[in-house]
A and B are shown apart, each in its own frame.
Chain A
Amino acid sequence: MIFTFLGYLLSVFYIIRKNKIKALLFFYITTAVTLLLYAYHATSDLNLNF
């Protein structure tokens, strides 16, 4: 979970440095990780067996 906050911090850092590509990259990676974490929690609640 700590890495999602770190990802947004890095995104804001690159925005301040005016590096839009890296800022966007960190934003999209972090959003994807956040959604994956949500999927992890949602499926662990259900005790699914794949």
Chain B
Amino acid sequence: MLTRFKILNAICIIIICCILSGAFYFQFYLKENPCPLCLLQRCSMFGVLTGLTFNIFFSFKPSHFAIIIISALTGLIFATRQVLLHICPKPGEPLGYGSPIFGMYLYSWSVIIFLCCIFGAALFLLFISKIKTSDSKIFKIEKIAIAFTITLLLLNIIATFFECRIGPCCENGPCL
């Protein structure tokens, strides 16, 4: 049971990492620089990843799922604000920010992803009492998931530095 949950946990990390890698496709291939709210949503996704990484090294505990839910809720606030900013465009203005994917913009997908994170954390919490919370070995898939997370974090640090330098980000680069 513990092994299954550990593998499922690692798969969740890899899925979120793949989503964050997709954002890099839009940033570097389609040349669509992320807006401040987009970067804040990425931060919240890393918060979710931090909670999932806690599960790998400190076993499954409700407090780790609390971290996931807190991060997902903050991300949901940012994504919902961005959806509401673009939900009713003025005539002559672009319909949304960036290119849509499967008919929806990235921030709309972000709302769905954060809702899925909250739902997933709740599902994990339902079965957490059945899991023996003992220290166990770290599987190869978990090592891959952690390496993927750290690589993406480093890439985001470099990309954000070149976009906004050290200060906060504004619409077209650094604020200050």
Residues of chain A touching chain B, judged by Cβ–Cβ distance below 8 Å, are: 1-6, 8-9, 11-12, 15-16, 18, 20, 23, 27, 30-31, 34-35, 37-38, 40-42
Contacts and interface: CB of A to CB of B under 8 A. Distances in A.
A8 B146 CA distance: 13
A12 to B, nearest CB: 6
B150 interface: yes
B164 A8 contact: no
24 contacts: A1-B160, A2-B160, A2-B161, A4-B40, A4-B43, A5-B157, A8-B47, A12-B49, A12-B50, A12-B146, A15-B53, A15-B54, A15-B58, A20-B54, A27-B47, A30-B43, A31-B70, A34-B40, A37-B36, A37-B40, A38-B74, A38-B77, A38-B78, A38-B81
Q: Which of A1, A16, A40 has the most B CB atoms < 10 Å from its CB?
A: A1
Nearest to A27: B50
Given A8-B50, A16-B57, A18-B57, A31 B74 contact: yes
A8 B166 contact: no
Contact of A5 (B58, B74, B81, B160): B160
A34 B43 contact: yes
B154 A34 contact: no
Interface string B32-73: 000011011011101101100110111000000001001100
Interface of B: 36-37, 39-40, 42-44, 46-47, 49-50, 53-54, 56-58, 67, 70-71, 74, 77-78, 81, 146, 149-150, 153-154, 156-157, 160-161, 164-169
A2 B166 contact: yes
B62 to A, nearest CB: 14
A47 B149 CA distance: 37
Given A12-B50, A12-B150, A37 B168 contact: yes
B37 A35 contact: no
Contact of A41 (B37, B47, B149, B165): B37
